Amino acid sequence: MQRIHEEDLTDLDRDLARIRGLLEQKWANDEDAGFSFIYTDGTRLPLTPHMLFQWALAIVSLILLFIC
């Protein structure tokens, strides 16, 4: 596996990583290493790594939409 150096990352890569990190902090499960979105009624939706990436991509896309 090839190591990625920070100077090789684009601004988009950095933004996606930052937002995904924030999502992981907010929705981390206390009882295991997973992630879950919790609805207001207490229902839990398990979040896969792909779902977290897509959520981060949607957030970054909205930010870029309003900036540009």
DSSP alpha helix (H) spans, 1-68: 11-27, 49-67
pLDDT of 29 > 70? The answer is yes
For residue 29 the two structure tokens come to 């499960």
Report which of residues 35 and 64 the model is more confident about: 35
Q: Per DSSP, what are the bridge partners of residue 44? A: 38
Whether 54 maps to a domain, the answer reads yes
Whether 21 maps to a domain, the answer reads no
Domain count, the chain: 1
Report the alpha-carbon distance of residue 59 to residue 19 in Å, rounded: 8
For the chain, give the mean pLDDT. 91
Is the pTM here over 0.85, yes or no?
A: no
Radius of gyration, CA atoms only, the chain: 14
The parent domain of residue 53 ranges over 28-68
**Confidence band, pLDDT 50/70/90 cuts, at residue 1:** low
**Confidence band, pLDDT 50/70/90 cuts, at residue 58:** very high
28: Cβ contacts below 8 Å, ≥ 6 apart: 34, 35
